[in-house]
């Protein structure tokens, strides 16, 4: 990333304008949950409502879901705005912020936009993208105000354990820094449900939403978990950004949260099916290298031969299939595969990806 202050997101622009394809493996969320399945009646909705700093029924449900008190919950327009608010509340221009590498591009771009000095710690592919807290301890400075990471990790899907997070929290504490954990993918760890890292210490801040794990992106139901004083600062800061949320969105979010078990079960079934198809793609392949997480929607293999950008163009042109080129995650020899889509489409897309890899290999032998 250049030293100039970011005023756009290269990844989001690409995702919005160029990622779509008939066979789409470039998404990172579960396929859209249909409004019809929420069984909402028109009389359940209203244009305006009693929202001030939060809409009480939504605050109550989010706090219950997360096992926290309501004064720790700040509603935000998706995890995107949650990340922005959290960083803007903590970072002054010139402060050091320590961010995982690779990471979700907008995390870097928001930090840059805020004028922070960006330092990095590595998540190495040959270590299954795990975080080495010792690396963080070596890189943190007295001027570091914030450490940022995603859990599950985007782009690899790697899970960070509570033990590692606790150590990161302790390291941050010694420098008076906070730890921002973007948990937008964490609810997809179905077989060993994870506690939010918010519970690991008072210097943890968590951001998340109903977008990725539930297929409810359009609700923009995101939130931040922070200690009450900091939460209050974020609410006030949000008055400079969105100020007030879309009230019908709040009402629909309440409806969705009341049906979350059902929505979750659908996502789990979908991912179980799609992960089998992904496993079949990888089995016996020697042209792709890398860690595969048993959780979440994304995986980030390394293409062992040739240019990934050229391969992605070839895959799209000849096989009508899209993946995310690794350059958006600062790892141009990798690409990201997302398996949250419709199972029939995903199975066909993965077959096409396999055929493209075969043809790519033949062309290079
Ligand atoms: C790590 C991460 N954080 C935040 C977001 C944005 O999520 P939302 O739709 O909740 O704003 C994404 C979307 O891809 C993401 O991968």
| pLDDT score of 12 more than 70 | yes
Is 214 a pocket residue for ligand 1 (Cβ < 6 Å)?
A: no
pLDDT tens digits along 131-156: 999 999 999 999 999 999 999 999 99
Q: Which atom of ligand 1 is closest in space to residue 185's alpha carbon?
A: 1
Q: Which of 11-20, 71-80, 188-197 has the lowest mean pLDDT?
A: 188-197
Q: Which two tokens stand for residue 203?
A: 């210097």
Ligand 1 centroid to 31 CA: how many Å?
14
Ligand 1 centroid to 47 CA: how many Å?
26
Ligand 1 centroid to 39 CA: how many Å?
26
Mean pLDDT (the chain) is: 96
Q: Give the pLDDT score at 2.
A: 64
The mean pLDDT value for 100-120 works out to 98
pLDDT tens digits along 117-126: 999 999 999 9
Is 80 a pocket residue for ligand 1 (Cβ < 6 Å)?
A: yes
| pLDDT score of 36 more than 80 | yes
The mean pLDDT value for 236-246 works out to 95
Ligand 1 centroid to 105 CA: how many Å?
10
Q: Give the pLDDT score at 1.
A: 62
Q: Which atom of ligand 1 is closest in space to residue 77's alpha carbon?
A: 11
Q: Which long-range contacts (CB under 8 A, 24 or more apart) does 265-269 make?
A: 266/33, 266/215, 267/30, 267/188, 267/213, 267/214, 267/215, 267/340, 268/188, 268/190
The mean pLDDT value for 39-64 works out to 96
Where in 204-296 does DSSP place strands (E)? 204-209, 221-225, 288-289
Is 196 a pocket residue for ligand 1 (Cβ < 6 Å)?
A: no
Q: Which atom of ligand 1 is closest in space to residue 82's alpha carbon?
A: 11
Start-to-end CA distance of the chain, whole Å, equals 34
pLDDT tens digits along 247-279: 999 999 999 999 999 999 999 999 999 999 999
**Nearest-10 Cα torsion for 314, 315, 317, 318:** 100
Rg of the chain (C-alpha set):
20
Instruction: For residue 52, give the DSSP letter.
Output: B
| pLDDT score of 3 more than 90 | no
| pLDDT score of 290 more than 90 | no
Is 297 a pocket residue for ligand 1 (Cβ < 6 Å)?
A: no
Angle at which helix 260-282 crosses helix 343-364, to 10 degrees, equals 20
Please say whether the beta carbons of 237 and 202 come within 8 A: no
Ligand 1 centroid to 228 CA: how many Å?
24
Q: How far is residue 73's CA from residue 92's CA, in Å, rounded to a whole number?
A: 23
Residue 131: strand, helix, or coil? strand
Is 79 a pocket residue for ligand 1 (Cβ < 6 Å)?
A: yes
Backbone angles phi and psi of 45, in degrees to 5: -105, 160
How far is residue 98 CA from its own chain's centroid?
Answer: 17
Spatial CB neighbours of 283, under 8 Å, sequence gap ≥ 6: none
Backbone angles phi and psi of 211, in degrees to 5: -65, -60
Where in 69-177 does DSSP place strands (E)? 73-77, 96-101, 117-122, 144-150
Ligand 1 centroid to 221 CA: how many Å?
11
Ligand 1 centroid to 167 CA: how many Å?
25
Please say whether the beta carbons of 65 and 257 come within 8 A: yes
Is 78 a pocket residue for ligand 1 (Cβ < 6 Å)?
A: yes
Instruction: For residue 130, give the DSSP letter.
Output: -
Q: Give the pLDDT score at 362.
A: 83
Pairing outcome for strands 23-24 and 73-77: unpaired
Backbone angles phi and psi of 205, in degrees to 5: -125, 135
């Amino acid at each position: 990333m250049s030293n100039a202050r970011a005023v756009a997101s290269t990844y989001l622009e690409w995702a919005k304008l160029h990622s779509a394809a008939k066979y789409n493996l470039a998404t990172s969320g579960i396929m859209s949950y249909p409004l019809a399945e929420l069984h909402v009646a028109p009389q359940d909705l209203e244009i305006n409502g009693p929202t001030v700093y939060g809409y009480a029924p939504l605050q109550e449900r989010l706090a219950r879901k997360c096992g926290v008190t309501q004064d720790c919950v700040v509603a935000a327009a998706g995890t995107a705005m949650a990340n922005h608010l959290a960083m803007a509340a903590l970072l002054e221009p010139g402060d050091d912020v320590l961010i995982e590498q690779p990471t979700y591009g907008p995390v870097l771009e928001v930090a840059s936009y805020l004028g922070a000095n960006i330092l990095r710690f590595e998540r190495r592919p040959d270590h299954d993208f795990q975080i080495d807290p010792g690396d963080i301890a070596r890189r943190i400075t007295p001027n570091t105000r914030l450490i940022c990471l995603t859990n599950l990790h985007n782009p690899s899907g790697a899970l960070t354990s509570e033990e590692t997070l606790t150590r990161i929290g302790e390291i941050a504490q010694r420098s008076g820094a906070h730890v921002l954990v973007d948990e937008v993918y964490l609810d997809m760890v179905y077989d060993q449900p994870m506690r939010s890292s918010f519970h690991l210490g008072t210097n943890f801040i968590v951001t998340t939403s109903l977008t990725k794990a539930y297929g409810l992106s359009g609700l923009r139901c995101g939130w931040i978990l922070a200690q009450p004083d900091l939460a209050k600062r974020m609410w006030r800061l949000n008055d400079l950004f969105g100020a007030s949320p879309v009230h019908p969105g709040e009402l629909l979010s309440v409806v969705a949260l009341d049906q979350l078990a059902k929505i979750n079960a659908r996502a789990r079934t979908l991912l179980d099916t799609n992960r089998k198809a992904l496993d079949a793609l990888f089995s016996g392949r020697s042209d792709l290298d890398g860690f595969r997480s048993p959780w979440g929607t994304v995986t980030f293999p390394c293409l062992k031969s040739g240019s990934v950008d050229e391969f992605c163009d070839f895959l799209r042109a000849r096989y009508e299939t899209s993946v995310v080129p690794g350059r958006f995650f600062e790892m141009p020899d990798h690409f990201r595969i997302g398996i949250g889509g419709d199972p029939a489409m995903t199975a066909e897309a993965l077959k096409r990806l396999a055929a493209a890899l075969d043809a790519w290999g033949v062309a290079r032998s």
